[in-house]
Amino acid sequence: MSLTKIDSEIVEINNSAENIFNYLSDFKNFEKLMPSQVTNWTSTSEECSFTLNGMATIGMKIIEKTPSSKITINSNGKVPFEFHLFIYITTKDANNCTGQIVFESDLNPMLKMMVVKPLGNFFNLLAHRMKDIK
């Protein structure tokens, strides 16, 4: 198995890095960013689980927060494969920043073939929805 890395697009956000970081530091806010393919959402501020398109139940846990710049999330509980998710927030000025989601996992070649495109689309969608955070 080899490390599979999926980078979302880097999106321009008209909001401060601090606001985006604070919002994304609480999984209770994530539900508002999720697409319609996500069902059975449950969360606390630090952990969440959901079903993606009837495929698999995914659990995640925030394990590290670097104020206003990075949130590290690990897979948690029942998941089809272990993964790490990094949310990067880069300050441009007081009211603007960029956001990007990076996924890393050791996937076997067959699984990689099946998940790279849908996960890439999913992370791009989430990254773009960061622009709507008020």
d(CA 76, CA 82): 8
d(CA 128, CA 116): 18
More confident residue, 102 or 114: 102
Mean pLDDT of all residues in 42-66: 92
d(CA 92, CA 95): 8
pLDDT at 106: 95
Q: Which domains does the chain have, with CATH numbers?
A: 2-132 (3.30.530.20)
Of all residues in the chain, what percent are helix, strand and coil, respectively (each to 5)? 30, 45, 25
pLDDT at 54: 64
DSSP 27-45: HHHHGGG--TTEEEEEE-S
pTM as predicted:
0.94
d(CA 78, CA 72): 19
Amino acid at 129: R
pLDDT tens for 66-108 read 999 999 999 998 888 899 999 999 999 999 999 999 999 999 9
DSSP state of 108: -
pLDDT at 84: 97
pLDDT at 77: 85
Q: Length of the chain, please?
A: 134
With a cut of 90, say whether residue 55 has pLDDT above it.
no
In whole numbers, what is the pLDDT of the chain averaged over residues?
94
